[in-house]
Amino acid sequence: MAPIQVGQVFKSFEEFEEARKQYEMLNHMKWVTKSSSSISQENKIRAADGRPLMNPNLKHKNIKFICKFGGVARKKSKGLRTHLSTWKIECPAMLHLVAHTTDGLTVEALHETHAGHGLMEEETDVMPENRKLHPDDQSQLNALLDGKVKPSLIKPLLADMKSGAMNARDIANYRAKRQKENRGGRTEDEMLQDTLVDIQEADPSA
Protein backbone atom coordinates (compact mmCIF):
# COMPACT_ATOMS: atom_id res chain seq x y z
CA MET A 1 0.00 0.00 0.00
CA ALA A 2 1.25 3.45 -0.86
CA PRO A 3 2.35 5.34 2.25
CA ILE A 4 0.17 8.36 1.42
CA GLN A 5 -3.18 8.28 -0.36
CA VAL A 6 -5.97 10.80 -0.88
CA GLY A 7 -8.65 10.40 1.77
CA GLN A 8 -6.28 8.76 4.24
CA VAL A 9 -6.66 10.03 7.82
CA PHE A 10 -3.72 10.38 10.22
CA LYS A 11 -4.33 10.46 13.96
CA SER A 12 -1.30 12.65 14.65
CA PHE A 13 1.19 14.76 12.72
CA GLU A 14 3.92 12.38 13.89
CA GLU A 15 2.10 9.48 12.23
CA PHE A 16 1.91 11.50 9.02
CA GLU A 17 5.62 12.38 9.23
CA GLU A 18 6.51 8.68 9.30
CA ALA A 19 4.43 8.14 6.16
CA ARG A 20 5.97 11.20 4.53
CA LYS A 21 9.52 9.87 5.10
CA GLN A 22 8.54 6.53 3.56
CA TYR A 23 6.91 8.27 0.62
CA GLU A 24 10.03 10.38 0.02
CA MET A 25 12.31 7.33 0.08
CA LEU A 26 10.05 5.37 -2.31
CA ASN A 27 9.56 8.24 -4.72
CA HIS A 28 13.06 9.74 -4.60
CA MET A 29 11.85 13.19 -3.76
CA LYS A 30 11.33 15.49 -0.81
CA TRP A 31 8.37 17.57 0.33
CA VAL A 32 8.82 21.05 1.76
CA THR A 33 6.15 23.08 3.55
CA LYS A 34 4.63 25.78 1.43
CA SER A 35 2.02 27.03 3.89
CA SER A 36 0.35 25.92 7.09
CA SER A 37 -1.98 27.02 9.85
CA SER A 38 -1.60 25.71 13.37
CA ILE A 39 -3.92 23.78 15.66
CA SER A 40 -2.82 25.95 18.59
CA GLN A 41 -4.13 29.06 16.83
CA GLU A 42 -7.35 27.25 15.91
CA ASN A 43 -7.77 26.11 19.52
CA LYS A 44 -7.47 29.68 20.81
CA ILE A 45 -10.38 30.69 18.59
CA ARG A 46 -12.33 27.57 19.59
CA ALA A 47 -11.70 28.21 23.29
CA ALA A 48 -12.95 31.78 22.91
CA ASP A 49 -16.07 30.50 21.12
CA GLY A 50 -16.63 27.69 23.63
CA ARG A 51 -16.31 25.04 20.88
CA PRO A 52 -14.60 21.65 21.43
CA LEU A 53 -10.82 21.80 21.07
CA MET A 54 -8.86 19.89 18.42
CA ASN A 55 -6.25 17.28 19.26
CA PRO A 56 -2.98 19.28 19.59
CA ASN A 57 -1.02 16.27 18.24
CA LEU A 58 -2.44 17.04 14.81
CA LYS A 59 -0.21 20.14 14.97
CA HIS A 60 -1.58 21.67 11.76
CA LYS A 61 -5.16 22.48 10.85
CA ASN A 62 -4.06 22.92 7.28
CA ILE A 63 -0.69 22.19 5.68
CA LYS A 64 0.44 22.29 2.08
CA PHE A 65 3.69 20.83 0.74
CA ILE A 66 5.44 21.38 -2.56
CA CYS A 67 8.33 19.50 -4.15
CA LYS A 68 11.76 20.58 -2.91
CA PHE A 69 13.30 20.21 -6.37
CA GLY A 70 10.45 21.81 -8.18
CA GLY A 71 11.22 25.37 -7.67
CA VAL A 72 12.03 28.34 -5.70
CA ALA A 73 9.50 29.78 -3.34
CA ARG A 74 8.13 33.12 -4.38
CA LYS A 75 10.52 35.96 -3.78
CA LYS A 76 9.55 38.30 -1.02
CA SER A 77 10.19 41.70 -2.44
CA LYS A 78 9.73 44.89 -0.57
CA GLY A 79 8.42 48.03 -2.14
CA LEU A 80 6.40 48.86 -5.18
CA ARG A 81 7.40 46.06 -7.50
CA THR A 82 5.91 43.22 -5.44
CA HIS A 83 3.43 42.47 -8.21
CA LEU A 84 6.33 41.44 -10.44
CA SER A 85 7.38 38.59 -8.17
CA THR A 86 7.29 35.33 -10.05
CA TRP A 87 7.48 31.60 -9.52
CA LYS A 88 10.56 30.23 -11.18
CA ILE A 89 10.38 26.57 -12.22
CA GLU A 90 6.97 25.24 -11.42
CA CYS A 91 6.77 21.60 -10.49
CA PRO A 92 3.09 20.76 -10.02
CA ALA A 93 3.74 18.08 -7.37
CA MET A 94 1.74 18.97 -4.27
CA LEU A 95 0.46 17.44 -1.05
CA HIS A 96 -2.28 19.01 1.04
CA LEU A 97 -3.65 17.90 4.43
CA VAL A 98 -6.60 19.31 6.33
CA ALA A 99 -7.92 18.53 9.81
CA HIS A 100 -11.60 18.10 9.01
CA THR A 101 -12.44 16.73 12.45
CA THR A 102 -11.01 17.44 15.89
CA ASP A 103 -8.94 14.23 15.83
CA GLY A 104 -7.88 13.49 12.27
CA LEU A 105 -5.60 14.96 9.59
CA THR A 106 -6.96 14.02 6.15
CA VAL A 107 -5.00 13.86 2.89
CA GLU A 108 -7.00 16.31 0.83
CA ALA A 109 -4.92 16.30 -2.35
CA LEU A 110 -1.83 14.55 -3.70
CA HIS A 111 -0.39 15.52 -7.07
CA GLU A 112 2.43 13.16 -7.89
CA THR A 113 3.51 14.33 -11.34
CA HIS A 114 6.83 16.17 -11.38
CA ALA A 115 8.08 18.57 -14.03
CA GLY A 116 11.13 20.67 -14.74
CA HIS A 117 13.66 18.58 -12.79
CA GLY A 118 15.03 15.09 -12.26
CA LEU A 119 14.45 12.95 -9.19
CA MET A 120 17.07 11.87 -6.70
CA GLU A 121 19.26 8.86 -7.27
CA GLU A 122 18.89 5.92 -4.87
CA GLU A 123 22.15 6.66 -3.08
CA THR A 124 21.14 10.22 -2.32
CA ASP A 125 17.92 9.13 -0.63
CA VAL A 126 19.51 9.96 2.63
CA MET A 127 19.78 13.67 2.11
CA PRO A 128 23.33 15.11 2.13
CA GLU A 129 22.48 17.47 4.97
CA ASN A 130 21.77 14.41 7.13
CA ARG A 131 24.99 12.69 6.13
CA LYS A 132 27.33 15.47 7.16
CA LEU A 133 29.51 15.15 10.19
CA HIS A 134 27.79 16.78 13.13
CA PRO A 135 30.09 19.33 14.85
CA ASP A 136 29.51 17.66 18.24
CA ASP A 137 30.99 14.40 16.92
CA GLN A 138 33.98 15.89 15.16
CA SER A 139 36.61 15.63 17.91
CA GLN A 140 35.59 12.05 18.67
CA LEU A 141 35.79 11.06 15.01
CA ASN A 142 39.17 12.78 14.66
CA ALA A 143 40.49 10.81 17.65
CA LEU A 144 39.28 7.52 16.16
CA LEU A 145 40.85 8.31 12.81
CA ASP A 146 44.12 9.32 14.47
CA GLY A 147 44.04 5.92 16.16
CA LYS A 148 43.76 4.37 12.68
CA VAL A 149 40.38 2.82 13.42
CA LYS A 150 38.75 1.49 10.25
CA PRO A 151 35.78 3.52 8.91
CA SER A 152 33.58 0.40 8.98
CA LEU A 153 34.27 0.04 12.71
CA ILE A 154 33.66 3.74 13.30
CA LYS A 155 30.29 3.64 11.54
CA PRO A 156 28.43 1.74 14.33
CA LEU A 157 29.87 4.15 16.89
CA LEU A 158 28.52 7.13 14.95
CA ALA A 159 25.09 5.53 14.84
CA ASP A 160 24.67 6.40 18.50
CA MET A 161 25.75 9.96 17.92
CA LYS A 162 24.40 12.80 15.84
CA SER A 163 26.19 11.83 12.63
CA GLY A 164 24.39 8.47 12.42
CA ALA A 165 23.52 8.80 8.74
CA MET A 166 27.17 8.94 7.66
CA ASN A 167 28.30 5.72 6.01
CA ALA A 168 31.78 4.15 5.91
CA ARG A 169 32.47 5.81 2.56
CA ASP A 170 31.59 9.25 4.00
CA ILE A 171 33.97 8.59 6.88
CA ALA A 172 36.75 7.50 4.51
CA ASN A 173 36.17 10.65 2.45
CA TYR A 174 36.29 12.76 5.58
CA ARG A 175 39.53 11.07 6.62
CA ALA A 176 41.10 11.73 3.20
CA LYS A 177 40.02 15.37 3.24
CA ARG A 178 41.34 15.86 6.76
CA GLN A 179 44.69 14.26 5.98
CA LYS A 180 45.07 16.54 3.02
CA GLU A 181 44.22 19.61 5.08
CA ASN A 182 46.37 18.59 8.05
CA ARG A 183 49.59 17.82 6.32
CA GLY A 184 49.41 18.89 2.73
CA GLY A 185 51.20 15.60 2.16
CA ARG A 186 51.65 12.42 4.14
CA THR A 187 54.87 10.72 5.17
CA GLU A 188 55.79 7.38 3.59
CA ASP A 189 54.92 5.54 6.80
CA GLU A 190 51.53 7.16 7.07
CA MET A 191 50.75 6.44 3.45
CA LEU A 192 51.70 2.80 3.91
CA GLN A 193 49.58 2.54 7.03
CA ASP A 194 46.60 4.08 5.27
CA THR A 195 47.03 1.73 2.34
CA LEU A 196 46.97 -1.22 4.74
CA VAL A 197 43.81 0.10 6.35
CA ASP A 198 42.23 0.42 2.90
CA ILE A 199 43.20 -3.15 1.99
CA GLN A 200 41.65 -4.44 5.23
CA GLU A 201 38.61 -2.34 4.50
CA ALA A 202 38.26 -3.92 1.06
CA ASP A 203 38.94 -7.44 2.32
CA PRO A 204 38.04 -7.93 6.00
CA SER A 205 39.80 -11.31 6.08
CA ALA A 206 43.17 -9.69 5.22
Nearest distance from residue 49's CB to Zn ion, in Å? 40
Distances 13 to 10, 56, 94, 146 between C-alpha atoms, Å: 7, 9, 18, 43
67, 99, 154, 171: which one binds Zn ion (CB under 5 A):
67
Near Zn ion by CB under 5 A, which window of 5-13, 53-61, 110-118, 171-179?
110-118
Distance CA 186, CA 32 (A): 44
| Residue of 20, 18, 25, 31 lying closest to 122 (CA atoms) | 25
Q: Are the C-beta atoms of residues 35 and 64 closer than 8 Å to each other?
A: yes
The residue number with the shortest CB distance to Zn ion is 67
Nearest distance from residue 91's CB to Zn ion, in Å? 3
Nearest distance from residue 192's CB to Zn ion, in Å? 49
Is 114 a binding residue for Zn ion by CB under 5 A? The answer is: yes
Residue 64 pairs with which residues in a beta bridge? 35, 96
39, 54, 63, 91: which one binds Zn ion (CB under 5 A):
91
Is 120 a binding residue for Zn ion by CB under 5 A? The answer is: no
Nearest distance from residue 19's CB to Zn ion, in Å? 18
31, 42, 70, 145: which one binds Zn ion (CB under 5 A):
70
Near Zn ion by CB under 5 A, which window of 65-73, 81-89, 135-143, 163-171?
65-73
| Residue of 188, 87, 199, 112 lying closest to 152 (CA atoms) | 199
Distance CA 45, CA 78 (A): 31
Is 178 a binding residue for Zn ion by CB under 5 A? The answer is: no
In degrees and rounded to multiples of 5, residue 130 shows phi and psi of: -85, -15
Is 93 a binding residue for Zn ion by CB under 5 A? The answer is: yes
Helix (H, G, I), strand (E, B) or coil at 181: helix
Total residues contacting Zn ion by CB under 5 A comes to: 5
Burial 163-180 (b: 16+ CB within 10 A, else e): bbbbebebbbebbeebbe
**Amino acid residing at 37:** S
Decide whether 87 or 173 has the Cβ nearer to Zn ion: 87
Nearest distance from residue 62's CB to Zn ion, in Å? 21
Site for Zn ion, rule CB under 5 A: 67, 70, 91, 93, 114
